[in-house]
């Protein structure tokens, strides 16, 4: 049963609404102090590559726009979460020429405004023919078809926790990344996914699969805020018509991180892709 307000967390693992949290009825929720957002929702959402989005009960039917469009925009360009104490924050991300459709979804507890800017520095408006804009009490979901290639940005204003995700329908895709180790029976040796937990200080081999044009690529690891933690040195080891594989080593010294890649498309425009799920690293044994 729906109560006055609900918190929905969507997860890429199933492309469905994973669960519903019904907080106590409090005037002004979610723009209230304290535990307006259950930390467990944030933790699970980040770990699985999902997204926390705050909806009012009256917006429940329209909230399905997020579920429907996540499955149509499978490639993550950028994501960031954090807390605004006051004022505004500007987030930037590149859009390359392979992007057929762009989805920008942002949720902020005490929302004042969300503005998206094209590379031409013009604002994105819902009345434009290439824009499907969906405004909510605590967020915005905009789908932009055939977006202009170049440096995009968004400005969010208000206070409280925010969750920003930029996804694309595109031929360039960060397919997967995993930590691997030697294994297999004699005559069938190879690299297999690590099954035990990762621990601080370990030197681990990383395998990455990427669908992208030929050319130089720069890999890095980033935190939940979208900030770069350190570069990731990976070398190409195999490629096919639609996929390239890279291999390298990483010394584990961050408790949680994502992997990201940058390069240029065939038109020379910069691209960026992130693996949405967050790797978790435990304390040293």
Cβ(229)–Cβ(203) under 8 Å? no
The domain ranges of the chain are 5-169, 173-282
Alpha helices (runs of H) in the chain, residue ranges in sequence order: 39-48, 64-70
* Residue 26: per-residue pLDDT: 53
Q: Read off the pLDDT of each residue in 198-211 and give the average, rounded to a whole number.
A: 96
Cα(183)–Cα(189) distance, integer angstroms: 6
* Residue 8: per-residue pLDDT: 47
Tokens read off for 126: 């819902």
> Quick one: pLDDT band at residue 35, thresholds 50, 70, 90?
low
The domain 5-169 having CATH identifier 3.40.50.10470: the answer here is no
Give Cα separations from 119 to 59, 94, 95, 96 (angstroms). Answer: 31, 9, 9, 11
* Residue 16: per-residue pLDDT: 32
Q: What is the pTM of this model?
A: 0.87
Whether the pLDDT of residue 273 is over 60: the answer is: yes
CATH architecture for the domain at 173-282: Sandwich (2.60)
What are the percentages of helix, strand and coil residues in the chain, rounded to 5?
A: 5, 55, 40
Give the residue carrying structure tokens 């499978």.
74
Torsional sign, CA 245, 204, 258, 223: negative
Query: What average pLDDT does the chain have?
Result: 88
* Residue 190: per-residue pLDDT: 83
* Residue 166: per-residue pLDDT: 98
Whether the pLDDT of residue 208 is over 90: the answer is: yes
Equal CATH topology for 5-169 and 173-282: no
For 83-135, the pLDDT digits (tens) are 998 889 999 999 999 999 999 999 999 999 999 999 999 999 999 999 999 99
Cα(274)–Cα(42) distance, integer angstroms: 18
Whether the pLDDT of residue 76 is over 70: the answer is: yes
For 215-270, the pLDDT digits (tens) are 999 999 999 999 999 999 999 998 887 899 999 999 999 999 999 999 999 999 99
* Residue 27: per-residue pLDDT: 58
SS3 61: coil
Q: Read off the pLDDT of each residue in 166-172 and give the average, rounded to a whole number.
A: 98
* Residue 185: per-residue pLDDT: 77
Nearest-CA neighbor of 20 among 29, 10, 33? 10
Whether the pLDDT of residue 19 is over 50: the answer is: no
Cα(107)–Cα(173) distance, integer angstroms: 25
């Amino acid at each position: 049963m729906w109560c006055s307000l609900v918190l929905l967390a969507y997860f890429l693992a199933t492309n469905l609404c994973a669960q519903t949290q019904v907080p106590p009825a409090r005037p002004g929720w979610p723009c209230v102090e304290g535990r307006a957002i259950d930390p467990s929702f944030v933790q699970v959402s980040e770990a699985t590559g999902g997204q926390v989005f705050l909806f009012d009960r009256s917006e429940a039917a329209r909230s399905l726009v997020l579920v429907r469009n996540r499955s149509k925009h499978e490639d993550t360009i950028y994501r960031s979460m954090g807390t605004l104490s006051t004022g505004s924050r500007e987030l930037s991300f590149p859009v390359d020429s392979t992007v057929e459709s762009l989805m920008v979804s942002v949720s902020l507890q005490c929302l004042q405004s969300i503005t998206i800017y094209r590379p031409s520095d013009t604002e994105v408006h819902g009345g434009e023919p290439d824009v499907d804009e969906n405004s909510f009490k605590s967020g915005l979901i905009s789908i932009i078809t055939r977006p202009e290639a170049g440096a995009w940005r968004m400005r969010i204003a208000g206070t409280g926790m925010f969750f920003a995700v930029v996804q694309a329908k595109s031929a360039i895709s960060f397919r997967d990344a995993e930590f691997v180790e030697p294994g297999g029976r004699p005559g069938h040796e190879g690299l297999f996914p690590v099954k035990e937990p990762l621990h601080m200080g370990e030197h681990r081999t990383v395998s990455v699969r990427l669908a992208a044009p030929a050319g130089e690529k720069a890999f890095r690891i980033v935190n939940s805020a979208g900030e770069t933690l350190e570069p990731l040195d990976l070398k190409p080891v195999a490629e096919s018509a639609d996929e390239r594989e890279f291999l390298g080593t990483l010394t584990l010294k961050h408790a949680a991180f994502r992997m990201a890649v940058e390069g240029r498309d065939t038109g020379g425009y910069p691209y960026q892709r992130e693996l949405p799920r967050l790797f978790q690293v435990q304390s040293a044994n």
